[in-house]
A and B are shown apart, each in its own frame.
Chain A
């Protein structure tokens, strides 16, 4: 249901953009105004959200420790999984952000195939001659890690490759990237590995979300919407790159115009390009209000970005309020007879 409705919404958006790109009257709107506005919303929105989080205090030092603490010098402490230095935290965060360390932890260790003794009290082995049937190994969580990694990295590569539309001349980095990415040259035009990875990863994430009963149950409209939007964006990009070759020169005129604040709308741009641009605009404008903000949020997560130095250095809570406590004096007064009868020392006789 959610999957379907979000798909319909994305298709509608695409349709709107197609019409907008086809009508000369609307082209300036879809070519210039919408992208400009979206970029503005993105920048202001993300900044607002990040500042909002950053201004919210972290009252307690609550890292999740995933390894041995630093305590006695002869016990090998885990400087990354349970960091106590700034560099440890930086490495932990880098592993988290660049390699999705925690998701990787999610992979299963060695799978025990030996029959585990059963039966209550009296262990009974699995029945003889009838061992566990060989089954497909359910490596789902590893795939999640792989797909997530593939998606994020290839998205970054594709994004960087797009720099050639915004910078004149294109930076050398873009050339190098394109060369590496297109290493597995298959015919012409060059097929980029990142494009394939991106599509495959998004496809997997979508299939997983809609077919795994657990994940499907907890998925909301916006979860599918983000995936469909990204798929639409990538699909239109791939179409333009490999099938419907639009007028690249005209497009570059438009994009350069956008970033140099000298807007021009060239006449011969395919409506497909407008769909691509519009979906991107929607993504940008939607970004700050969505779960996609995890991109920035992960850096601020207190269970990951704090060192486990809770007992080494005092952490200050800026709003630490006074509370009503039960003082020793009150306690002694209440139990004086009993303290004295038991021969326990008291402050006041």
Chain B
């Protein structure tokens, strides 16, 4: 396929462009920090974007293994699902890869040929769909996580009450008053 013949330099340029477009979706006061701060613990967001887009670029120009693409997309989608983005914007950064590809392609013979560009476009489209699925899953996950957290808060209380009531019933005593008292 024409894509595998694309030079490493072009691939690097594509990545740089894509990263720049993606960082452009963050407030301008922040995007430079996200791009330049190299400490992964001080800059977890920038680091996650960097590593994932790097991995995705390899897949785009290489084998495009669905499982691996999903694995690389996942951390970024997790991130953008909880940042202040609408659903469209949360996955929109994937589509921005097209923008990067176009910019790189414009540079003539050094860039990506028209045939390769088509393949790349198809792959990017597929990536968008995977991203949308992942985002869906993130939303479900958040919902489930919230529900589990609520359960954990009263986990002991519920079990303790069930046991206390069972014991009271076994003794034939009157039903017990609720343990929690509402503010009158």
Contact = CB atoms under 8 A, between A and B. Distances in A.
Interface of A: 108-109, 111-112, 115-116, 118-120, 122, 124, 126-127, 130, 132-133, 135-138, 212-214, 216-217, 338
B120 to A, nearest CB: 17
Contact of A133 (B12, B28, B29, B41): B12
Which of B38, B40, B55, B58 has most chain A Cβ within 10 Å? B38
Contact of B71 (A109, A122, A217, A338): A122
Contact of B38 (A120, A126, A138, A214): A138
Given A111-B39, A116-B47, A213-B30, 14 more contacts: A108-B39, A111-B38, A112-B41, A116-B51, A119-B71, A120-B75, A124-B71, A130-B58, A135-B36, A137-B38, A213-B28, A213-B31, A216-B29, A217-B29
Nearest to A216: B29
Contacts of B54: 126-127, 130, 132
A236 to B, nearest CB: 34
Contacts of A213: 28-33
Contacts of A108: 39, 42
20 contacts: A108-B42, A112-B39, A112-B40, A116-B51, A118-B48, A118-B51, A118-B55, A120-B78, A124-B71, A126-B51, A126-B54, A130-B54, A130-B58, A138-B38, A213-B28, A213-B30, A213-B32, A214-B30, A217-B29, A338-B177
**For chain B, what secondary structure do more than half of its interface residues adopt (helix, strand, loop), or is it mixed?**
helix
Contacts of A112: 39-41
Contacts of A126: 51, 54-55
Contacts of B74: 119-120
Nearest to A130: B58
Interface in B13-69: 28-33, 36-42, 47-48, 50-52, 54-55, 57-58, 68
Contacts of B93: none
Interface in B117-152: none
Interface in B50-100: 50-52, 54-55, 57-58, 68, 71-72, 74-75, 78
A126 B51 CA distance: 7
Contacts of B71: 119-120, 122, 124
Interface size bucket, B side?
20 to 34
A273 B31 CA distance: 45
Nearest to A131: B54
Contacts of A136: 36
Nearest to B75: A118
Contacts of A338: 177
A214 B51 contact: no
Contact of A119 (B38, B47, B58, B72): B72
A216 B27 CA distance: 13
B72 A124 contact: yes
B57 to A, nearest CB: 8
B67 to A, nearest CB: 9
A132 B19 CA distance: 13
A133 B57 CA distance: 13
A112 B31 CA distance: 21
A25 to B, nearest CB: 50
The 4 closest A-B pairs by CB, nearest first: A127-B58, A217-B29, A120-B74, A138-B36
Nearest to A110: B39
A213 to B, nearest CB: 5
A123 to B, nearest CB: 9
B25 to A, nearest CB: 15
Contacts of B177: 338
A2 to B, nearest CB: 15
B12 A118 contact: no
Given A137-B38, A138-B36, A138-B37, A115 B51 contact: yes
Contacts of B75: 118-120
Contacts of A214: 29-30, 32-33
